[in-house]
Amino acid sequence: MILLLKISLVIFIAGNLFEMGLLMNPRAAISGLRNYRFVCYTLLWSFVVGPTVAFGLSILIPLDPAYAMGLVLMGLSPCAPFLPMLVKKAQGDLGYTAAFMLIASLGTVFFMPIAVPLLVQGLTVSSWAIAKPLLITLLIPLTVGMAILRHSQVVAQKILPAVKKVILGFTLSTLALSVLVYGKGLFQIDALNVFAALILFFASLTLLSYWLGVGLRSNQKIVLSMGVTTRNLGASVAPLLSLPLVDEKTIVIIVMGAPVMIGSALLHAKFIHRTEPGTQFN
């Protein structure tokens, strides 16, 4: 059962990054990459503030070390593959979305192997051991997807629906297998502390990144806050593939983070619609 879960998980991670590559048009990202303020904010919130908030909450709120590890891993992996859908609903800038996705994806691959051994207490695995699954499951699928899009947007658009269906299938199988393998841990979870940590983590990043995006237009702040709020949960799990033994609590908190993340992002989109006259929640 665990072997099936690992296979499903690898395909889920790689498929999500492949889909992200098919959506990530480098030409569309140029406008965002030329905005140095936006690039600096993206790097700051994705790889300084995000991990710091996660690490701080893991200390402030009494968490089992395995739960703390999962929270820190989520802090190091910004930007869910479905970010364009959320940004579109909130009428954010899709060009800046491509820029954020590119920075977040490449930053995760290069930053996580350095940060994880420093932030996760008791983890003795080397930086290369963490980088290897990230390169295989994140960078290669992302690069292939971007290469297909660059070669032919028509081909990318044709295969995208099939890719989405395959990813949905493996998403459901990964969730089902996770429940079967780690179901006992899900029901024994220290609900109060873990949910408090997750809610505070997502709420802090969502609100602060939007209101402190000084100097950005509203549709650009939407991209920043949505990108920071959502987490690439596949990237969060990827470093665990290099470990010989993984405490199920680390997987559990990442799985439990999914509904909290989605709920936070949707509430934020509705909040933007109410507070910003130029936006519309579709």
Q: What is the CATH number of the domain that holds 105?
A: 1.20.1530.20
**Domain assignment present for 67:** yes
Q: Residue 263 falls within a domain, yes or no?
A: yes
Domain count, the chain: 1
Q: Strand, coil or helix: what is 123? A: coil
In a domain, 280, yes or no: no
* In-domain check, residue 58: yes
- The answer to the question of residue 268 being in a domain is yes
The span from the CA of 101 to the CA of 119, in Å, is 24
- Residue 276 confidence (pLDDT): 60
pTM given for the model: 0.83
The amino acid sitting at 198 is L
| Per-residue pLDDT reduced to its tens digit, 231-244 | 988 888 888 877 77
H-run or E-run covering 230:
none
In a domain, 258, yes or no: yes
Q: Which of 41, 104, 103 is nearest to 75 (CA)?
A: 104
Is position 262 within any domain? Answer: yes
Give mean pLDDT, residues 214-243. 87
Q: What is the pLDDT of residues 91-121, one digit of tens each?
A: 888 889 889 988 998 888 888 888 888 887 6
Q: Is residue 282 part of a domain?
A: no
Mean pLDDT (the chain, rounded): 83
Q: Which residues contact 53 (CB under 8 A, 6 or more apart)?
A: 75, 201, 204, 205
CA-CA-CA-CA dihedral for 100, 231, 204, 197, to nearest 10: -160
Domain that holds residue 89: 2-275
